[in-house]
Amino acid sequence: MEGSGAGFRKELLSKLLPLHFRDHRTRVSADALQLTAELLRIFVVEAAVRGVRQAQAEDVAQVDVEQLEKVLPQLLLDF
């Protein structure tokens, strides 16, 4: 996945992040956007990997929402 260009676009993050700021004058630098995009990419990849491991442990051929729901609590604690 690294180097494949997959990830979150900075334009999307620059629109989404301000929705959660209390002060409308808060700005996000380009470096902060890049770091946030990388963190989200790693989070999604880790969720997918853990979902696959959970599906394998359950002898299921396909990852479903159920497997992701099972790994989500620990994933959120790890991040």
Reduced to 3 states, what is the DSSP secondary structure of residue 7?
coil
Instruction: List pLDDT tens digits, range 39-52.
Output: 999 999 999 999 99
How far is C-alpha 63 from the geometric centre of its chain's CA atoms? 17
Give the domain ranges of the chain. Answer: 10-78
Burial 32-68 (b: 16+ CB within 10 A, else e): ebeebbeeeeeeeeebeebbeebbeeeeeeebeeebb
Instruction: List pLDDT tens digits, range 7-62.
Output: 888 888 988 888 888 888 888 899 999 999 999 999 999 999 999 999 999 999 99
Domain boundaries 10-78, corresponding CATH code: 1.10.20
Reduced to 3 states, what is the DSSP secondary structure of residue 69?
helix
For position 4, what pLDDT does the model report? 53
Read off the pTM.
0.78
